[in-house]
Amino acid sequence: LPTRAGSSPEPEERSMEPPAVPEEETPLSAASGPVGCQLFGYVGIEAVLEQMKIKTMKTGFEFNIMVVGQSGLGKSTMVNTLFKSKVSRKASQPGQEERIPRTVQLQSVTHVIEEKGVKMKLTVTDTPGFGDQINNENCWDPIIKYINEQYERYLREEILITRKRKIPDTRVHGCVYFVPPTGHWLRPLDLEFMRRLSKIVNVVPVIAKADTLTLEERAEFKQRIQEDLKAHAISVYPQEDFDQDPDDRALNDRIREKIPFAVVGADQEHQVNGKRVLGRKTKWGIIEVENPAHCEFPLLRDLLIRSHLQDLKDITHNVHYESYRVRRLNESNRP
């Protein structure tokens, strides 16, 4: 009897299940479909975007960029060209004779840039002395230490019981690595640096002073660099693993085909066809840095500022900083 009593309601429950399932799932499918989302009048949901815009314009945002490469590759000039202002460390120290340090030293300069009401606190970190010595063994250690120190500083603020409403963000969001325009292949120093740094920060390689190469040499050099990065399993930004949807993957695939960008920097204006343009004047003409036919500087600017700036910050916070945070908390929890 207990078995019959326990089994007798089963056919009734099974007979009731089919009509119950669609009744519960119908509102969900209607809500997720385009028909269920239609409104009978204006509600004002789109005003959320305007609220976010106003709040961001009031508070501003932070962006921290690091430039790494040998002396004489135009790192400071490139940063000034990117933001069309004197933001490099050279501009903040006029009249001082620049000497190559014996070891890698990190120098940071912070500026507040405002454009059309939007304020950005920009921090540029330069690495003079990198790759300039005869023995460059472990010359990337100070850079790795600095990046991890910024993660540690953010982590200490985050785990406080009473923490600030907005934690100051000094983490490096992007590292632009300048490859010398040799025209041959990546040096062991370049490969080792990008292999180590790509695991903790977004690395964007560029070919410095690309006007010293012919178009054929530039194309061959770029192809060899791409082959070296693939052979050594070095994942530079934008990484394939972090593409969110097919649209992002399609856009990033087009960017990955052109990385490393062959760039030319200039902080002086010249007259070309009645217009003032940034460029480098030579005996045979003017190299316009913002002309896609002359160099790929516009692609680098679009990647760092116009299209992927927020993505650089998101990946820094959600991937690189998160992996550092997990590792540090695991170490502190070990007996």
Overall pTM > 0.85:
no
Architecture of domain 50-88+101-333: 3-Layer(aba) Sandwich (3.40)
Nearest to 67 by CA among 175, 147, 180, 172: 175
Q: What is the mean pLDDT of the chain?
A: 84
Provide the 10 A C-beta neighbour count for residue 265.
26
Residue 136: what pLDDT?
87
In tens, the pLDDT along 197-221 reads: 999 999 999 999 998 898 899 999 9
Please indicate whether residue 38 or residue 91 has the higher confidence score (pLDDT): 38
Residue 30: what pLDDT?
41
∠ at Cα 57 (171, 175), nearest 5°? 25
Residue boundaries of the structural domains of the chain: 50-88+101-333
Residue 27: what pLDDT?
45
Provide the 10 A C-beta neighbour count for residue 278.
21
Nearest to 101 by CA among 63, 77, 129: 129
Length of the chain in terms of residues written: 335
Lowest mean pLDDT among 68-77, 253-262, 267-276, 320-329: 267-276
